[in-house]
Structure 1
Amino acid sequence: MLLPEIIIEKIKNEGPISFQDFMEMALYYSDLGYYNSKQDKIGAEGDFYTNSSLSASFGAMLGRQIEEMWQALDKKTFKIIEYGAGTGLLCHDILDYLKTNADLYKSLTYSIIEKSTSMREIEKTHLTEKVSWHSSIQEIPQMNACILSNELVDNFAVHQVVMEDQLMEIFVDYEHGFKEVLQPANAALITYFEDLNVTLPEGFRTEVNLEAITWIKEVAQWLKKGYVITIDYGALSSELYEIQRHLGTLLCFNKHRINDNPYQFIGEQDITTHTNFSALKDWGAKYGLKYCGLVNQANFLLGLGFKEYQDRLVKDKQSNVQLALQESIINYRLLMDLGTKFKVLIQRKGVSDYPLSGLKFINSAQNLSLNRF
């Protein structure tokens, strides 16, 4: 049975399902959901590019930041935990860079939390040392750690809501095609906006990522001493709920083409929404994570010496003009294109304030804004 047929049968048997349930099935249903299918997802033959799929330099810069975090943690036994490692390229590039620090590399282990069986198989083909795989962070013994996610939170299944006389949740029904119906929002959805001090205007449609709250709670409670790095595209509450975003932020990616219709290509396209960094900061604080800073990806990379690192690589490749040109194009994408869209949030627990190079060029106005929401 095809995935759309399975979803239709569920609706016929149980009645309309929440959009969150629909998105969860579309992305993660066993063997048929987008992330559990065997189709190419990342790169030229897939549906989208990631930071790590563009250049190994991205992983090297994260390696530099993690190296500083290890130093802040007194250079003791250290673990990197990556959620949703994709093809494993980022893990490979981080480890490859950290091999230059023998003391750190010797004391280091790397754990990947991956619920996609197909992606786990891909990762294992080229990650042959230092790496273990897990279904939950609870399987991993606690130690000094950096918990890393790159383009993870945007793929959590979200609830969709619209403000009418009261907050209404969007459910998915089926009658000669998928259609949306409204039901009064439950207490968890209403409380989400109250806690963020957000009032939606009438007619405003948006998403609520309750899974992100569950995730940051789990991360914060597991971590005793270390850092959390969250990289994703998204914004603060003050930006996400501006009137120009009254239709929400949901987008779908299929063969490098963008659309806003999640009810087509079910199981064959990615479905994403913007990450609310205000929510990650606020709920992280409730569960014990201290805020270090939020910066866009370009400034994060520049603070870590990305340009100097890339200039050295290009100089080494001067004999091959084509490779040098390709590296320059990658630089543009990581800094000017994705670099302005993606944000990097760093939080800490059990560690005193320590100057992190990735936050060197942090925008003070942005942080003042963040602290208000």
Structure 2
Amino acid sequence: MISLPLPSTEQLAHSAAVAAAIRAEIAVSGGWVGFSRFMEMALYAPGLGYYSAGMQKFGSGGDFVTAPEISSLFGRTLARQVAQVVRASDGDIMELGAGTGRLAVQLLAELQRINALPGRYFILEVSAHLRAVQQETVLRELPEALASRVEWLDALPADFTGCMLGNEVLDALPVHLVAHREDGFYERGVGIEDAAFMWSERPATGPLADAARALALPHGYMTEICLAAPALIATLAERLKQGALVLIDYGFPRREYYHPQRSGGTLMCHYRHHAHDDPLLYPGLQDITAHVDFTSVAEAGVAHGMQVSGYVSQAQFLINSGITDVLAQVSPGDAAAYFPLAAEAQKLISPAEMGELFKVIALSKGLSEPLLGFARGDKRHTL
């Protein structure tokens, strides 16, 4: 068993409050909740959940590092693709779940440099704490003329034209856990024994059972099914009138996700840069994630009037979008500036780092020209 850093007294008290809220939910639900509800509360319970409370999550002092935290090259390169969509649709930008706000800063600065600024940069953020962090980042790092273009939303607008963005959004959506037993599919959930959380299973029903049966999983197989992702894509598709939805995350096509050898699923927890597989530990203090089934994302988009405009690895997307050109803006002769950036680029595109595990998918409406980030290495045929 992996050895994890011990939480502080304050953190343990916070986790106890989260656990108490979940226990109350279990009590009013008849002694059991599906894991998706446990995960939803552990991550998003107002003022308590991992993404809702005020503890540091991103960067070296948090639990994990995202691409915009690794290097400004990420946002500056992504800006090339965003600019194409904004120009083609004469629209705005909307970022879903903006983390620390660093990606917004990188994008707006580069879009100004290449003369492709949108009228507005919307951020849809459900966490009041992260919204405050984002506002601080934007005001600190952007000139007022750029910062004034950023607007935070409490809900999706009825209509949107432009580029929707989501970096590591889908992996944090609550997932259902299913197990294929000899007598059928069961949903894994959480109960209480001796005041502690414990795993408990009940027969899967409704849409979850239908989705599980459609996967034709072997007996003994346990995995995740994210019903929330297709639902989110459906909603975004309804609101997007013209433009593209660009999603960046770690995951696989369905055939690879539910491969017979991946019989334990992909659920993973992140706590102070330690990865482990016990989501019942320290509720509210750790991130809980699952890989993305990109086939379900594509199917949901197509079912709601979108076109799958591309699906590539993050490395291929960044190369297609011109990361080498962005890097070349710094002279190799300036070693102090160039070599750290080159090392950051390697982290973003190396197969041993983020380059192959992370994928980029684009779902579009009303765009005629091919998207530059998917010009080479397109893997739509694998979905």
* Contact kept in structure 1, 2:217 and 2:260, CA below 8 Å: no
CA distance in 1, matches of 2:260, 2:366: 39
Q: Deviations over 1:336-364 (max 9, x none)?
A: 11111100001111222x1222102224x
Q: Residues 335 and 166 (structure 1 numbering): CA distance in 2 closer, same or farther, change over 3 Å?
A: same
Q: How far does residue 193 in structure 1 lie from its aligned partner after superposition?
A: 4.2
Q: Deviations over 1:278-325 (max 9, x none)?
A: 00001111111111110000000001111232133253xx44x34433
- Counterparts of residues 323-342 of structure 1 (less than 5 Å): 323-336=337-350, 337-342=353-358
TM-score w.r.t. structure 1 length? Answer: 0.91
Equivalent position SS for 1:245: coil
Q: Residues 143 and 261 (structure 1 numbering): CA distance in 2 closer, same or farther, change over 3 Å?
A: closer
CA distance in 2, matches of 1:301, 1:343: 11
Structure 1 stretches of 4+ moved >4 Å = none
User: Which has the larger displacement, 166-175 or 6-15?
Assistant: 6-15
Identity of aligned residues (%): 33
Match of 1:89 among 65, 81, 102: 102
Q: How far does residue 143 in structure 1 lie from its aligned partner after superposition?
A: 4.3
- Counterparts of residues 152-163 of structure 1 (less than 5 Å): 152-163=169-180
Q: How far does residue 68 in structure 1 lie from its aligned partner after superposition?
A: 1.4
Match of 1:72 among 64, 69, 88: 88
CA distance in 2, matches of 1:72, 1:362: 23
* Contact kept in structure 2, 1:252 and 1:271, CA below 8 Å: yes
Query: Counting helix residues as a fraction of each chain, which structure ranks higher?
Result: 1
User: Which has the larger displacement, 120-129 or 87-96?
Assistant: 120-129
Q: Which runs of 5+ in 1 are unaligned?
A: none
TM-score w.r.t. structure 2 length? Answer: 0.89
CA distance in 1, matches of 2:167, 2:42: 21
* Contact kept in structure 1, 2:73 and 2:323, CA below 8 Å: yes
* Contact kept in structure 2, 1:293 and 1:362, CA below 8 Å: no
Match of 2:206 among 180, 187, 194: 187
Match of 2:41 among 2, 17, 25: 25
Q: Deviations over 1:150-176 (max 9, x none)?
A: 000000011111111211101101103
Letter in 2 for 1:254: Y
Match of 1:110 among 121, 130, 151: 121
Q: Which runs of 5+ in 2 are unaligned?
A: 1-15, 139-146
RMSD (CA atoms): 1.5
Matched with 2:187 is 169
Matched with 2:278 is 261
Matched with 1:132 is 151
Q: Deviations over 1:55-106 (max 9, x none)?
A: 1111111110011123333xx3x1111100000100111110110244x32x
Matched, 1:50 2:66: yes
CA distance in 1, matches of 2:295, 2:129: 32
For these two proteins, the number of residue pairs brought into alignment is 355
Matched, 1:99 2:117: no
* Contact kept in structure 1, 2:190 and 2:199, CA below 8 Å: yes
Equivalent position SS for 2:51: helix
* Contact kept in structure 2, 1:19 and 1:170, CA below 8 Å: yes
